[in-house]
Amino acid sequence: MLARVRPRSLLSTALRGGVLASALGASSCGAGLMPESLRHPLAGAQAPSMNELGGQPTEVGIWHGAPVKVTVVDFWASWCQGCQESLPALDALYRDKRGDGLNVIGVSVDERRDDAYAMAQTLHASFPIVVDQDARFASSYRVAQVPLTFVVDRSGTVRWVGRDPGAVRRAVEVVLAE
């Protein structure tokens, strides 16, 4: 048996549903809410310094003299299947949003520099790639497993940590919209 619904309560329910969907980021307007981050010691904390990353000074917030609103630091390896899937998505994000103030830095944890650069070339990565052979940066970012991606705002605060490329995009869009 169908319950009788008054038209007014149906409209009220639909409006509440629309507000709820909008609050959950389901709306196509605006950036939505920040996706859920992994529980990680750096989430909400200041990102470790990346000075002299790959032999060139790098500060969160500045990249080659241009203002940066968001920096994505992605730890990956050539032998990692998940990384081979996430790097192209990060590259698409970088190409889409670099004009809006996004910088992406790929940090390979490969032991051999040639393996990292060959994979980056195969996957057509256009963002800067550095190789962390001594695991200095991976250690400072407390990376135990790859891929692992950090979204850092212009003040250097780690705003999101995770593995899902779609969630990385949503996190970047939220921080860029602030």
CA distance 130 to 116: 8
pLDDT digits (tens, 9 = 90+) for 121-150: 999 999 999 999 888 899 999 999 999 999
- Please give the model's pTM, rounded to 2 decimal places: 0.77
pLDDT of residue 31: 59
Please report where in the chains the tokens 């705003």 appear, as a residue: 159
For the domain made up of 37-177, give the CATH fold. Glutaredoxin (3.40.30)
pLDDT band at residue 30 under the 50/70/90 scheme: low
CA distance 149 to 163: 6
What value does the mean pLDDT of the chain take? 80
CA distance 156 to 164: 21
Average pLDDT of span 34-57: 79
CA distance 141 to 41: 9
CA distance 47 to 50: 9
